[in-house]
């Protein structure tokens, strides 16, 4: 069953049906993919904030959601980075 969205809801339809991305082959690829995703979320939030400030897009809820999404994804990435650094430091402390 195909669901047709009303005009203006295309963004919602795309977020409900995300594009299939190729599975990362290594940990490095996974990190690059996630960094790209976080960067994309931050750019989208910035673009929506600028559109709100200039009066082009009066969707305050959408702006708030995109800012929250960007903030949470950045915080998550920061925590992953911290865990990676802790693991590296722990390995460096090991005596052979």
For the stretch 46-81, pLDDT in tens is 999 999 999 888 888 999 999 999 999 999 999 999
The answer to the question of residue 53 being in a domain is yes
Quote the CA–CA distance of 24 and 34 in Å, as a whole number: 10
Decide if pLDDT at 90 tops 60.
yes
The answer to the question of residue 89 being in a domain is yes
Phi, psi of 70 (to 5 degrees): -65, -40
Question: In the chain, how many domains are there?
Answer: 1
Q: Which pair of structure tokens corresponds to residue 40?
A: 């994309």
The answer to the question of residue 20 being in a domain is no
The answer to the question of residue 57 being in a domain is yes
- pLDDT above 70 covers a percentage of the chain that reads 76
What's the pLDDT score for residue 96?
A: 77
The answer to the question of residue 1 being in a domain is no
Decide if pLDDT at 12 tops 50.
no
The answer to the question of residue 12 being in a domain is no
pTM across the whole model: 0.67
The answer to the question of residue 31 being in a domain is yes
Give the distance, in angstroms, between the CA of residue 57 and the centroid of all CA atoms in the same chain.
21
Q: Name the residue range of residue 32's domain.
A: 25-93
Find out whether 37 and 77 touch, Cβ atoms under 8 Å.
no
């Amino acid at each position: 069953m195909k669901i047709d969205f009303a005009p203006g809801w295309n963004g919602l339809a795309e977020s409900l049906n995300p594009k299939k991305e190729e599975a990362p082959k290594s940990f490095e690829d996974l990190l690059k993919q996630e960094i790209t995703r976080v960067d994309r979320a931050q750019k989208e939030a910035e673009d929506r904030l600028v559109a709100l400030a200039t009066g082009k897009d009066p969707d305050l809820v959408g702006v708030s959601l995109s800012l929250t999404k960007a903030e949470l994804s950045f915080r998550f990435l920061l925590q992953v980075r911290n865990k990676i650094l802790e693991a590296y430091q722990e390995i460096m402390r090991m005596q052979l």
